[in-house]
Each structure stands twice: as C-alpha cells, then as structure tokens.
Amino acid sequence: MKIWVDADACPVVIKDILCKAAERTEMITTFVANQFIRTPPSRYIKFVQVARGFDVADNEIAARVETGDLIITGDIPLASEVIEKGGIALNHRGELYTTENIKERLNMRDFMDTLRSSGIDTGGQAALSSSDRQAFANHLDKILTQSKRK
C-alpha cells in the first residue's frame, strides 16, 4: 500500500498527521499538488509537483494509484475513480468513501453545483474541527493497521 495525498486543498493539520503516520509505519506517502509544498525530510515522504490547471493533480493521482492504495482527498470524482480502481479513499474529515456511499456523494455534489450555478448561495463547509481531525486520525490508523496485518 502507498498513500497518495491530493495536497492542493489538504489542511496543514492533516498533512502533519500524514507525515507522522508515514514515519511511524514506514509507508510511502506522496503529496501531489500544483504548487510547492514543504515536506519534512524523510525517505517515506515524497512530493510531486504537477503543472497548474484544473484537475491536473487529480489526474496524476488517478494515473498512479494501484489496487489497495490509500488516497486522501476531498474531491468526490477522484474518490470515485480511485474506488473503481480498487483503491481506498478517505477525506480530510475522516469519512471513508466506499462503493456503497460514493454514488450518493456524487449525486449530492452535482445537486449542490446545480444550485450554485443557478445563483443560490449554498454556503461552504464548516472549518475543520478537532473532532474531524480525530476522526481522520482514527480512520487513518485503522486503515494502516489493517494494511500492515496483510
């Protein structure tokens, strides 16, 4: 298993959790972004900078992901593609995307896009809370522990 991080919109606190987990588990963790992101020196932590542009980082991750890899993303279409390829997708709030819930998430995303394009203010996501960070860390630890057992 490798960990791929859609790093352009990844909160700093989540990046820190991922870097600590990479060191602790000796799991290759690659941050992919279209702008430079500082990462700590480590043989387990990598950074790939892609060209600027819509979905360029997502496309890079989708092209590299293999069955069993873990992807950290808030991008629902990317999560869907990863699941189709046999990967695991976890968002920054600790929600695991699955074959059972991804279609519902895609439908809701499309619905909200339609509302926004018609001029309705749908608001944004709430700030990342301490319970979100804890849920993320717990899910990440569970996934990595299960991976090490295999």
CB 14 within 8 A of CB 72: yes
**pLDDT score for 102:** 74
**pLDDT score for 112:** 64
Token duo for residue 2: 């490798």
CB 29 within 8 A of CB 14: no
**pLDDT score for 148:** 82
CA 77, CA 84: separation in Å to the nearest integer? 11
> 3-class DSSP state for residue 30?
strand
Q: Would you list the domain boundaries of the chain?
A: 3-149
CA 97, CA 59: separation in Å to the nearest integer? 18
**pLDDT score for 120:** 73
Of 41, 42, 6, 29, whose CA–CA distance to 144 is shortest? 29
Could you name the CATH architecture of 3-149? 3-Layer(aba) Sandwich (3.40)
**pLDDT score for 109:** 64
For the chain, how long is the longest CA-to-CA vector? 50
Q: Which residue has the tokens 């569970």?
A: 142
Q: Sign of dihedral through CA atoms 76, 34, 66, 145?
A: negative
Q: Pick out the chain residues at pLDDT < 70.
A: 106-112, 116, 122-124
**pLDDT score for 80:** 92
